Structure 1
């Protein structure tokens, strides 16, 4: 009589090879994976935001430069006005008296009970 264990092993091996081949074909490793449209949209949005950020930064830099120039001019005006005000105050103020230091004897209080 023939041994059936060899046949069983052959059938099991054939089934394993069949399913492994089926899984490999179903995975299609040769097909190029299409990029996720959400990731493509996200990358495009990131590029737009970076471009807008560069434009905004340029605008902010220009405004800051104009502000610095105006601030420098305003501080110069304030400095001149302050110097003029000090000169006018010194010219209009009467001369101040000199300070005298007076030493007094200690104050003693006596109380009777």
Structure 2
């Protein structure tokens, strides 16, 4: 009989995204995933498959949570120029507050 999952899959994907950003895909081991996600190795493999599958699912979640809303905003904006200005202003404000912007020009222009 299959056991009931006692973890939130979306939260685990969020933790996986952060772990892959921190360590990088190749440097993230299966043990890092078990430790960082707070789930057992069997739950990891039963739910997400292998490391590559988990990485792809985490990327899809990032797209759905962070990229798709921006694209939808551009597509529905009455004033696209103002909307794009709004997006750049938000990124600038985050940068000035030293809030890490994950996945955006990471490491390209120094730290």
State the TM-score, normalizing by the size of structure 1: 0.26
Determine which structure has more spread, i.e. the larger CA radius of gyration. Answer: 1
State the TM-score, normalizing by the size of structure 2: 0.26
Bigger relative contact order, structure 1 or 2 (CA pairs below 8 A, ≥6 apart) = 2
